[in-house]
Structures are given as C-alpha cells and as structure tokens.
Amino acid sequence: MFLWKSTFFPNDNELFPIHTFRRKITVATSGLHERRSPMTMNVRSQNLLFAIVRARDGVAGSPLWRIAAGLLALCFAVALFPGFSSAQRTDSGPAPSPTAVSPVELAKQVAELRAMVLQLQAQMKELQAAQPPILQASAAVPRPAVYPSSSLPVTVSSTNSQPLETQIPAATPAPWPEQTLLQGTTVNFLVDTYYAYNFNDPIGRANYLRAYDVLSNAFSLNQADIVLENAADPANGKRFGARLDLQFGQATQTLQGNTVNEPRPEIYRNIFQAYGTYVAALGSGLVIDFGKWSSSLGIEGNYTQDQMNYSRSYWFDFLPFYHMGARVHYQFNDQFGANYWITNGTNQIEPFNGYKDELFGLVITPAKTLNWTVNYYLGQEHPDFQFVPNGSSNLPTLQGTPFAPIVNPLNGKTHILDTYATWKVTPKLTLAGEADYVIERLRTSSAPSETRGGAAYIRYQFTPKIALASRGEWLFDHGGLYSGKTQTLNETTITFEYRFPNGFLMREEWRRDWSSQPFFLTSTLGNLKTYQNTATLGLVWWFGGKQGPW
C-alpha cells in the first residue's frame, strides 16, 4: 500500500511505502513488549495506529479525511512517546538496554513530530477555507426540520468517488417560503345557500325586487366564491397588492347579467372583483386601485356574513353593484378621508359610450364608534352603439360580433347622492341609516326621472352567537328607474341570527314588501298583489385567512 508523501510532508512529492512511515513512528517502540510498563505500546495499539494510517480515501476519497487520519495517528504517537524514554532504537534482534536512547535524540524526534502536526493543522485550515460555503454551513448549522426538496441546490451521492468539495458547487441557498412573492396571500372560500317561501305562491316561483333570494320554494345556491387576496402592507415596505373574487351561482346573473348596462356580460360572468393596488409614498399613503371593484354606493355589500340581514335592500338592488376603472383614497387623519373614482360607468366593465363617470366621496369618523360616508356620483348611462348578432356582413365587428352605431344617441346625465352612517351605541347595540337621491335624464333638456328614499337598521347582539336585526326602508320610484313603474315601495325585515363556530352562519328571516300599486306576482298570471310575504332560511359557510369584513 502507498500514500502520497505530500499528504504528510508537503515539501516532498515522491511516493513512499507505508512501512517506511510505520518505521518512523515505531522506531522507539521495539522491545517495549518485553518491559510491559504502563506506557508500553501493545500489539492492539500498533494495529489501531496502522489502521488509521492505512485508511485510504475516507468515505469519498477526501484529502481532508486523509489529513485528519494522519493527524490522529501522529497525535496518538506523540501521546505515547513519553513512555518510550527507556526504549532502544533498533530494527531487529534482542532488545537493547533501556538506556541506549539518549535524551537529546528523543527530544529531536519529538520536535520533528510536533513540526509535522503544526504543518498538518495549517493544511487543514487551508482546505477548510477552500470548501464551498454550503458545506461549511452544514457542519455548524442544523438544517430545518422541514425544507422543500425541490429547493435544494444539488443531490450528493455517497457512491461518488470524487472529492466532496467537487461534488457540490457553491450556491446560494433557496429562499424560505415566506420570502416569496406569495407571502401574505390569503385563499378564502364562501358558500351561500338558502330556502325561501313566498306566501303569494307566485308563478315561476319568482320573488320580485330581490337581488339574491330570487326563488321561492326552492333549495337555492345564492353564490359560491373564491377570494384570493395579497394586500398591500406599506408599514412593512410592501406597497402593492392585488385581489381576485370569483363568483358562481344565482348572484352572478343579478350582478353581471344585465345587457342594458353590460355590452358583453358573458365574458366577465364569474369575475366579481379583480384589481391591483399601489400605495404611493405621499403623506399618510395614497391608495390607488385599478381594475374592477365592488361599488361602495349604499351601505350594504355582497358578502352575507358582513350584513345585518340575509336579504338585501331595495337600494342595494338599485344602486350600482360594481365599476371598472381607477379609484384613489387618501386618509388625511383619523377622522377624515377622501375618495375619487373615474370609471367606465355603472355596472360596466366595457363602456357603451365614451363618457367617463366620476365619484367624489368623503369618509368621516368623528369617533371610533361612529362612521359616516357621503358620496356624489356623476355619470352618463346611455349607449352610443349596440351589438347586432345577426346583422349585415358589412357592419363592423368586435371580436367577431357585428355592431352598429346609434344615430343621435341619448346624452342625459345621471346624478347619485348617497350617504350612510353606522353608530355602535354599545358593544351589543348597533344602529345604521342610509339616504339616497337619484336623478336621470334621457337628454340634457329632458324632465328628470327620480328615485329617493332611505333605510334604517338596528341590530342587537344578545350573545356571541345569537343576534336579532331589523330593517325598514322606503323608496319612491318616480318614472320607474328602479322597478319600471312609478310607485312607492316599502319593506320591513326581521332577521334572527345564530353563528356556529368556525365560519358557519344560520339566519332565519321574515320579510314583507308592499307597494302603492299592484305589482307582486301571484299564482295566477295577470293577477297582481300590492304585497308579498316571504320566510327564508339562509345558511352561509366561509373560511380562509382573510380577517375582518370581506
């Protein structure tokens, strides 16, 4: 067997047989077996020493291992030399007298071995400095208990005969999952179902003037939603975010199905919200959203668990559901904020005219328990073109669908004045109110159609699980902007709520609608009533990482 001499004596590069090295460290040990002193190197000790020296290439042939083996062998020899002071230096024959080795010769041998140890230590430090950073870190820092295998830089094979430092290239460790762009993203789900019964037994089981609970005597899926949100967090240096709400069920027909407003509703049927956010570093932070978002005209919103009642008010059903465009919010202080929107129109992702609607709004919070919002919206809700699916081949097309311009289109404006407030009187008692005034003209010189009215709410939380809420509202629909008929509409609603743990809500509701004119369906075609009474059971499940109102 041969070892590279340079492993132990870097200044000499020729090969030498192992027995030569063995002689160097055993020259002072011959004859010690006869003395049997406590410091005698017995046969087992020699074999152990030679086994360490003979260990060739370690586990993977690493020079680092060979140096460590040699160092261990030399240290073992140095530890034994103090007991060799009475041994003789001879290669064969009878054991000479213990006084044959002079102290000067022994001291010289010890000095040589010490120099070799120091030289080996220096070589080890040089090799350690040359190791890739990932190897050095793995020796000192324990790996986490769980780490994605796909993020490891390389895979090391224990059968590879190459030195370990050539198997693994220097690499930057993969980032932890929380350092990715998805940090802070919440995935949320909602299922909203109901069973309603209309005591008018209407034909087609249709409940008039309802936004969501549109069917009677039917187990119904109001909506199923998936909400993905990665909110901006400027306090921690993250100034952008995004949100996507996917919606399925009956609610999509209400929100996205009106061809009077939406030229091509089928394209965007299941996208309730989709917008990006950027918080500009201006003062307290200028919040800018771009995309499609749920309208904040009116106090009520889309997600049932955030409302006082299960059914929605006339004003939720009448005022815009959503807008497409850009909106800006700036919070001046804890008591005062301002909003500005510029949009394609009311309930329009794609505009049907060239006018851009605008909103100017104020949010006032005089106390932590009181919040007041005031909005003014200006728009033009008359198209200047229309699609003609079976039109002439000479017509222009938009993605394959022919359309034609409207000659002398209407140009009257729509004005919406909307205000609402919420007052948390006590931790258990909440009061709220809304008032609205809407004017629309066909042309700038036309007489206006107008709708005005309001709603009042009260809610009392008896226990963390049980609550009772009531709503009353009034709507004067002059010109039929909302209902298609000039009439005065009223409704009262009483809602009992029971909240199960972990995002499960049950609401039992009684509602009565009545009108100044026969309007509501009955079991006989053409026979209308001035009222309708409904009883509804609503069951809502929601879960995910999003905190607070949706």
Q: Which residues of 318-344 are buried (b: 16+ CB within 10 A; e: fewer)?
A: bbbbbbbbbbebbbeeeeebebebebb
Encoded tokens for 81:
């030399």
Judge whether residue 536 has pLDDT over 80.
yes
Find the helix packing angle between 103-130 and 63-80, rounded to 10°: 160
Give the pLDDT score at 109. Answer: 79
Average pLDDT over residues 513-525: 96
* Local confidence band at 101 (pLDDT 50, 70, 90 cut-offs): low
Superfamily of domain 186-544: Porin (2.40.160.10)
Average pLDDT over residues 479-487: 94
Give the pLDDT score at 350. Answer: 93
Maximum separation of any 2 CA atoms in the chain, in Å: 135
For the ranges 18-32, 197-211, 440-454, the lowest mean pLDDT is seen at 18-32
Asked whether the beta carbons of 530 and 517 are under 8 A apart, the reply is yes
Give the pLDDT score at 181. Answer: 62
Q: DSSP for 265-320, please give it.
A: GGGGTTEEEEEEEEEESSTT-EEEEEEEEE--SSS--S-GGGSSSSSPPHHHHHS-
Neighbour tally for 106: CB within 10 Å: 18
Q: What percent of the chain has pLDDT over 70?
A: 72
For the ranges 112-126, 382-396, 465-479, the lowest mean pLDDT is seen at 112-126
Sequence-distant contacts of 497-502: CB under 8 A, at least 24 apart: 497/466, 497/467, 497/468, 497/469, 498/465, 498/466, 499/464, 499/465, 499/466, 499/467, 500/465, 502/543
Q: What percent of the chain has pLDDT over 90?
A: 59
Judge whether residue 420 has pLDDT over 60.
yes
Give the pLDDT score at 77. Answer: 52
* Local confidence band at 104 (pLDDT 50, 70, 90 cut-offs): confident
Cα–Cα distance measured from residue 175 to residue 137, given in angstroms and rounded to the nearest whole number? 15
* Local confidence band at 128 (pLDDT 50, 70, 90 cut-offs): confident
Measured between alpha carbons, how far is residue 434 from residues 131, 448, 467, 472, 473 in Å? 71, 22, 21, 11, 9
Higher pLDDT, 150 or 339: 339
Give the pLDDT score at 131. Answer: 59
Give the pLDDT score at 73. Answer: 55
Higher pLDDT, 15 or 379: 379
Tell me the average pLDDT of the chain: 80
Average pLDDT over residues 376-380: 97
DSSP 233: B
* Local confidence band at 283 (pLDDT 50, 70, 90 cut-offs): very high
227-248 pLDDT per residue, tens: 999 999 999 889 999 999 999 9
CA-closest candidate to residue 203, choices 522, 547, 533: 522
149-194 pLDDT per residue, tens: 333 333 333 334 333 333 434 444 444 444 456 778 999 999 999 9
Give the pLDDT score at 320. Answer: 95
Cα–Cα distance measured from residue 456 to residue 512, given in angstroms and rounded to the nearest whole number? 15
Cα–Cα distance measured from residue 15 to residue 4, given in angstroms and rounded to the nearest whole number? 6
Asked whether the beta carbons of 508 and 516 are under 8 A apart, the reply is no
- Give bridge partners of residue 395 from the DSSP assignment: none
Judge whether residue 9 has pLDDT over 90.
no
Judge whether residue 62 has pLDDT over 90.
no
For the ranges 139-143, 179-183, 360-364, 539-543, the lowest mean pLDDT is seen at 139-143
Give the pLDDT score at 61. Answer: 46
Give the pLDDT score at 126. Answer: 77
Measured between alpha carbons, how far is residue 372 from residues 81, 356, 362, 512 in Å? 93, 27, 8, 28
Give the pLDDT score at 505. Answer: 96
Average pLDDT over residues 124-142: 57
Give the pLDDT score at 8. Answer: 37
Give the pLDDT score at 23. Answer: 38
Give the pLDDT score at 70. Answer: 57
Cα–Cα distance measured from residue 150 to residue 250, given in angstroms and rounded to the nearest whole number? 43
* Local confidence band at 117 (pLDDT 50, 70, 90 cut-offs): confident
Higher pLDDT, 30 or 226: 226
Average pLDDT over residues 49-70: 47
Cα–Cα distance measured from residue 95 to residue 30, given in angstroms and rounded to the nearest whole number? 7
Rg of the chain over Cα atoms, rounded to whole angstroms, equals: 43
Give the pLDDT score at 140. Answer: 43
Q: Is 226 helix (H, G, I), strand (E, B) or coil?
A: strand
Judge whether residue 55 has pLDDT over 60.
no
For the ranges 177-186, 208-217, 401-410, the lowest mean pLDDT is seen at 177-186
Judge whether residue 24 has pLDDT over 80.
no
CA-closest candidate to residue 34, choices 97, 106, 77: 97
